[in-house]
Structure 1
Amino acid sequence: MHDAHEMRQLFMKRLLGSCYHKVVHVNLRKDSFHILKLDEFERQHTAIDLNKASLSEWFNDFVNSGMCHESVRQRFVEFASPNNLRRLCKKCTEGSVQIVYLRLMGKDGNYQPAILEFFPDMDDNFSGFITVRSFVSSTAISKRNMLDDVENRKHDDGSKYDRLTGLLNRRAFCERADQIMAENPTKKYDIVVSDVVDFKLINEHYGYEAGDKVITEISEWLQCNKGDNFLLGRYGGDQFVTFMEHTGILTDEFIRYIYQSAREVISMKDLVFRLGIYENVDSSVSAAIACDRAIMALQPIKHQYGKLYAFYEDSMLRDLERYRRMEKDMRNSLTMGEFYLVFQPKHNASTGELEGAETLLRWNHAELGSIYPNEFIPIMEDCGFIVEVDMYVWEQTCKCIKRWTQQGIQPVPMSVNFSRLNFREPDFVQRIIEITDRYGIDRSLLHLEITENLFEASLNEMQKTLQACKDNGFKIELDDFGSGYSSLNVLGDLPLDTIKLDKSFMNELSDKKRSNILLGCISLANSLELNTIVEGVESQEQMDMLRSYGANMIQGFYFSKPMSEEDFTAYICKHSQNCQKTLRFH
């Protein structure tokens, strides 16, 4: 049994003899510090006399020195300021460590990922140890000497290494990972599969040379950012796989930091990728199965805006079987008429008058029964079938409007949802014009609904396409505003007519902060001369509040659930003075 003094000595020995290149003991009561370990590069980069400076002076000098990359400088300031360290001393329990991920300048002048840790000093409630260690060896992609081995691998006959990147191919990666797990049966490991969202569109729009360039850049970034005990491979296409010892490092903060650092060095700045993670793997599961499970985790989030990663869960195996069944059947289901439209009305918030409706798609599968859009739409996006389906919904909506007109019914404006994949199609605008004009529909009766996840791609391209739609007489609605990482900039940057506020606001209307945000959004939209539609309205209390907030339109069960064409036609007549009594359906 060690006494407190011996434990402290053991702790100090571990710090000074390990991978830390900076170890400093700080005294927050005296605003002083004692350097235990510091590399010469940082000493030379310091503008003050470290022998005479206070802790606050050193902190301010470091902030202004350029040693910390500007993208994470504020993070460093918030974590390492003397005031925050005092707070951490009080917060930390015995043995706890506080961690922040940074990018610090290395000896070669390039910024590299680093981990800054704060260990409270158990002997003094106002003291602690600040340590810095590199997470990886370097992030300098331009340093080709680090990649010489990879270059040599590209000349392999293809049996072991991927010729484009020099990384292990799928088979060789799995064999090596299986070997490592067999040699270390008591250890646990993590498998991370990364996937570039809509990579095939890069090849289609920019050419295969551009696609290869992106793949090569990702490969080089992974090589330069891997830990010493990482195993890397190209799993196929745009998928890369990392095998590492399980250390608990795959936290939300760390993953977001790695994601941001990757986007800073890869030339295609609007690149979006997702991570699927299978953790705590041991030799009882083969690497190939572990990779498949990481990919299963990845599948549901590929097109979820703001969702960067997901961990595998056992229920995903059943979900995958259902996913593959729907993917296999959906094209035939469209031909067989198993997909159908329903319509949910929109009413004026002040007068209650019917002012429009949203066209929604439903699927009545012959064997699986009713399937809702939140399940089948992501699958359609994954396989690209959504492009055909969106055009099908647009054309069916045009047919409905024409039928109403032929029956003497004054149609109301109809909004149709479009996936971001459609906006990558070069003839998208021409196609919706051709379909609309074929049925002789007034273009102002058709609104395009878009969602925030469009803006993970190039905002400039979105602006051009949406402006072309608007110039040709269509209205633009931004759907689900407030459901993701909403950017107020898009309200000024895009040619919008309407924003639809997400139904989550209705679920949290009793929360004063949330209701104030809703009020602020409506007020901002009004000041920008944008219409507002609030979704998910179900009660008179909600109606009264939204009226007082100045909302323009309401959509929700308070007025009606989504309904069939026959029921909606009767609904239009009920709310319209200009309607024939006899209705015909075709």
Structure 2
Amino acid sequence: MNDCRKFYKSLIICIFSIAMILNIGLPVYAAVYTVPSDSGEADTVYVAGNPNTYPLEYYSKEDKAFCGVFPDMLKVVSEKTGISFTYISASFENRQKELSRNNQVELLTVLSDKQNECKVNELLPVLKFYSKGENTTYCIGFTEITSPELIGKIKNAFSEISEEEKMGFLLANSSNDPELNNKDRLIKIIISSISFLIVICGIIAIVAVKRKKHSNQDSMIDELTGIGNAEYYNYAFEKLLSRQSKNLYAVVYLACEVEKISIECGEKTIKEIERYAAAQLNSKIASAEYLARINDGVFVMLIQAPTEKECASKMFEVVDNLNLYLQEFYPNMANAFSAGASRLCEHPDCNAETAFYNAKQGYFAALRSNTSAVITCESHLTQDRRQGKLRKDVANAVTDGEFRVYLQFINENKSGKICGAEALSRWQNKEYGILRPHEYISILKETGQIIAHDYKMFSAVCSQLEIWNAEPYNRLFLTCNFTRTSLSQNDFFDRISEISSNYKFERRRLVLEITEDSIAENSKAVSENISKCRRAGFKIAIDDMGTGFSSFADLYDNEIDLVKIDGEFIASCTSERRQTMLSNIITLVHKSGAKVLCEGVENLGQAEFLNTINCDMMQGFYFSKILPLVECEKFLKNENITENSTLIKSE
């Protein structure tokens, strides 16, 4: 509402200013009494007018009367007070000086800068306007014969006339210049109209620019947190940092593992964490530094850090304080955020996108090294270029069979012999050689190739089981890993049924390994697929038990044949307390009807201990390296293969 008032007021003032400059306007409002003599009626106030101050006050030859803004305002004062006003000695000659000095009038009109030319006791400012490049004030001058009571009435009446009314009188009288002929008046009216349109267009343009500016500002605000967004980061980097000052800044990429937190706590928690994080980061940022939320769980900061030491110190402080702050609200969520930083002095010509990308590589390096923050260096960028090339090649690699099956054999405790093997994926890359899963699993997920990869591995395992259909190899089982993405598909069972139908082998010899986080994320779909697979004859194993994603309720809620306890958990069982806990877990699994396989067995001491607590099977480098298929049969000997596998024979 205030903006509208300001707009219309500005418009009116612009129009009046143009009218004053051009001396044009609209028809006359009214006039007051005028007499040619030096006196008038006894009950009126005598006024000395200035015949030459158009359009404020002038003598009209045609009307033989004083006209203009002041006569119109005096008429209003007359209506308010009952006082009559009469201009005396009316002509084209200005007699104000003479009439005031002779005390023949009570009031006269006078410009503020010419008051000394006339004899006045008191001035009443009535109208301010712009004329001939200057701001001028027009006043009512009271002579010494004007009574205080009369002055008071006139002052009060003038004070009740609003500025809008005064401007209306000015506009109404601005076209009646007696010196103009009709042709001149028409020309000025045309010029006035054009000027008016120019003013209107200018005002509209100003309003549009302001609205666009506000719109641009709104578009740079993140709706969830109220801080800047990706557009704001780009604006700050490109517009607010000068080329010289960029060398003093570093870009910090902060992120939390959204997928992991979502599984554990839900989507709502992610949003809450982001709001808390934004508030904390915003409270710590300096006046010449900038903060933005880029997407889910990802923030970026432009911080002042002239040296590498300052950059590291500030980044670690920011991340550590943020994680401590979040732990106040989520005690079980330690080190939720990690960070990477890129110092702009090392890449002076990079743009906002490249700087962000470089900082992100430091973040990935922090995750790989299990630390809270890392400053990006050239080796990180080299590593990312390598990952970029692998990302480009991965689709063809899946299609062309570059992913090969390797096996690590499993020993049965009861017989001390080999009972089966776990099928593991390796990428035989033409440029980089044999790559292990941690080097490419994330790439498979990012590119959407993980499902195709899983089914390729499954097909290869089925083929190997068919090859091992004869004695003594038909006593062995193989386990095949499936990621959460594959296992959650509605057509999972249909796909593996179709693939396995092309091979002849006993279905109970194939164990489908699922990670416990698979059950936690999509329990309904996974449970249905588990039931269908088990009814078809396949065995089911939970992989990596002990990594913290699921509870033992999942073991009882699903038909599980084998539980694989994670190698890191086995390695940590060095105290009596932990060993007792592991023994109790194995007992609990046995009561559910499942068998137990302990992974990561590296030495004889571990093997002997696991044997004493009734672990069914063991797997690790103490028993077998990870071997390509061509070397597996050389490793296997008839006397090393169990006669009667506990897992296969159990129903």
Q: Report the TM range for the smaller structure's normalisation.
A: 0.5 to 0.7
2:253 counterpart letter in structure 1: V
Structure 2 unmatched runs, 5+: 1-210, 305-313, 644-651
Which residue of 2 is the match for residue 503 of structure 1?
567
The question of whether the paired residues in 2 share the 8 Å contact of 1:274 and 1:298 is answered with: no
Q: Distance in 2 between matches of 1:293 and 1:414?
A: 42
CA distance in 1, matches of 2:214, 2:275: 17
* Inter-partner Cα distance in structure 2 for 1:462 and 1:537: 29
How far apart, CA to CA, are the structure 2 residues paired with 1:476 and 1:184?
Answer: 60
> What is the deviation of 1:572?
6.3
Contact 2:274 2:297 (C-alpha < 8 Å) held by counterparts: no
Alpha-carbon distance between aligned partners in 2 of 1:321 and 1:478, rounded to the nearest angstrom: 35
1:293 maps to 358
What secondary structure sits across from 2:440 in the alignment?
Answer: helix
TM-score (norm 2): 0.52
Q: 2:230 aligns with which of 162, 170, 174?
A: 170
Structure index of larger Rg = 2
SS at match of 1:405: coil
Say whether the 8 Å CA contact 2:450–2:485 is kept in structure 1: yes
Give the partner amino acid of 1:323.
Answer: Q
- Name the amino acid aligned to 2:282: G
**Secondary structure of the structure 1 residue equivalent to 2:513:** strand
| 2:282 is the counterpart of 1:227 | yes
Please list the CA deviations of residues 9-55 of structure 1 after superposition, one character each: whole Å capped at 9, or x if unmatched.
xxxxxxxxxxxxxxxxxxxxxxxxxxxxxxxxxxxxxxxxxxxxxxx
1:277 aligns with 2:336: no
The one-letter code of the counterpart of 1:351 is S
Distance 2:507 2:525 in 1: 22
User: CA contact under 8 A between 1:189 and 1:282: conserved in structure 2?
Assistant: yes
Q: CA deviation at 1:374?
A: 2.3
Please name the residue that 1:581 is paired with: none
Q: 1:180 to 1:510 in 2, by over 3 A?
A: same
With over 3 angstroms needed to count, the CA separation of the structure-2 counterparts of 1:160 and 1:534, relative to structure 1, is same
C-alpha distance after superposition, 1:243-271 (max 9, x if no partner): 5674754455742753895999xxxxxxx
What displacement does 1:345 show? 1.7
| Partner Cα separation in structure 1 for residue 493 and residue 214 of structure 2 | 46
Shift of 1:398: 0.7
* Residue 187 (structure 1) shift: 7.7
Please list, as runs of the form range in 1=range in 2, the aligned pairs for 1:4-23 lying within 5 A after superposition.
none
1:492 Cα deviation (Å)? 4.0
Judging changes above 3 Å, is the alpha-carbon distance between structure 1 residues 538 and 430 closer, same or farther for their aligned structure 2 residues? same
Q: Residues 234 and 465 (structure 1 numbering): CA distance in 2 closer, same or farther, change over 3 Å?
A: farther
Q: Are 1:551 and 2:615 an aligned pair?
A: yes
Match of 1:255 in 2: 323
Distance 1:412 1:217, change over 3 A: same
Identify if the C-alpha distance between structure 1 residues 196 and 509 changes in structure 2 by more than 3 Å, giving closer, same or farther: closer
Distance of 2:502 and 2:365 partners within structure 1 = 37
Partner of 1:322: 386
Q: What RMSD in Å do the two structures reach over aligned CA positions?
A: 4.7
Partner of residue 444, structure 2: 380
The worse-fitting range, judged by mean Cα deviation, of 494-503 and 457-466 is: 457-466
**Matched-pair identity in %:** 25
- State the alpha-carbon separation in 1 of the partners of residues 238 and 610 from structure 2: 59
Distance 1:153 1:514 in 2: 65
The 1:277/1:541 distance shift into structure 2, 3 A limit, reads: closer
Aligned residue for 1:227, secondary structure, equals helix
Measure, in 2, the Cα distance between the counterparts of 1:153 and 1:453: 48
Q: After TM superposition, give the deviation of residue 391 of structure 1 in Å.
A: 0.6
Change (3 A) 1:312 1:464: farther
Give 2:585's match in structure 1, choosing from 521, 524, 542. 521
Q: Does 1:568 align with 2:632?
A: yes
- Structure 1: how far apart are the matches of 2:365 and 2:247? 32
Superposed CA deviations along residues 171-215 of structure 1, whole A, max 9, x for unmatched, are 53133156666698898766234377569x99xxxxxxxx9x999
Cα pair 2:457 2:480 within 8 Å, conserved: yes
Aligned partner letter, 1:293: N
Please give the per-residue CA displacement for 1:525-571, whole angstroms capped at 9, x wherever unaligned: 22333211112224433322211111000112333222233443452
Matched residue SS, 1:558: coil
Contact between 1:153 and 1:161, CA under 8 Å: does it hold in 2? no
Change (3 A) 1:367 1:543: same
- Separation of aligned partners in 2, 1:296 and 1:381: 18
Q: Which structure has the highest helix share of the two? A: 2
C-alpha change, 1:536 and 1:239, in structure 2 (3 Å) is closer
Alignment partners' CA distance in 1, 2:388 and 2:430: 16
State the secondary structure of the residue aligned to 1:429.
helix
Q: 1:406 to 1:291 in 2, by over 3 A?
A: same
2:243 aligned with 1:194: no
Q: Is the 8 A contact 1:181 1:187 kept in 2?
A: no
Matched position secondary structure for 1:438? coil
- SS state of the match for residue 480, structure 1? strand
Give distance in 1, aligned partners of 2:274 and 2:321: 23
Residue aligning to 2:600: 536
Q: For each residue in 1:359-396, what CA deviation from the matched residue of structure 2 results, as whole angstroms up to 9, or x when unmatched?
A: 11122222211212222223222322221111100011
Indicate the SS of the match to 1:532: strand
Which residue identity does 1:369 align to in structure 2? G
1:542 match: secondary structure: helix
Q: Which residue of 2 aligns with 1:4?
A: none
- Aligned equivalents of 1:409, 1:312: Cα separation in 2: 52
Deviation of 1:237 (Å): 8.0
Q: 1:293 to 1:495 in 2, by over 3 A?
A: farther
Structure 1 residues 214, 429: CA separation in 2 closer, same or farther (over 3 Å shift)? farther
Q: Find the aligned partners of 1:345 and 1:447 in 2 and give their Cα distance.
A: 14
Kindly indicate whether the alpha-carbon contact (under 8 Å) linking 2:220 and 2:229 is maintained by their aligned counterparts in 1. yes
Secondary structure in structure 1 of the residue aligned to 2:514: strand
The residue aligned with 1:340 is 404
Unaligned runs of 5+ in 1: 1-151, 203-210, 265-272, 579-586
What amino acid is the match of 1:340?
R
2:326 is aligned with what amino acid? I
Instruction: Verify the 8 A CA contact 1:178 1:283 in the aligned structure 2.
Output: no
**Cα distance, 1:154–1:339 mapped onto 2, change above 3 Å:** farther
Distance 1:253 1:457 in 2: 30
Worse-superposed segment, 152-161 or 478-487: 152-161
Could you say if the C-alpha distance between residues 154 and 387 of structure 1 is closer, same or farther in structure 2, counting changes exceeding 3 Å? Answer: farther
Query: How far apart are residue 344 of structure 1 and its match?
Result: 1.7
2:220 aligned residue (157, 161, 173):
161
1:522–1:550 contact (8 Å) kept in structure 2: yes
Q: How many residues align?
A: 410
Decide whether aligned partners of structure 1 residues 458 and 448 sit closer, same or farther in structure 2, where only a CA change above 3 A counts: same
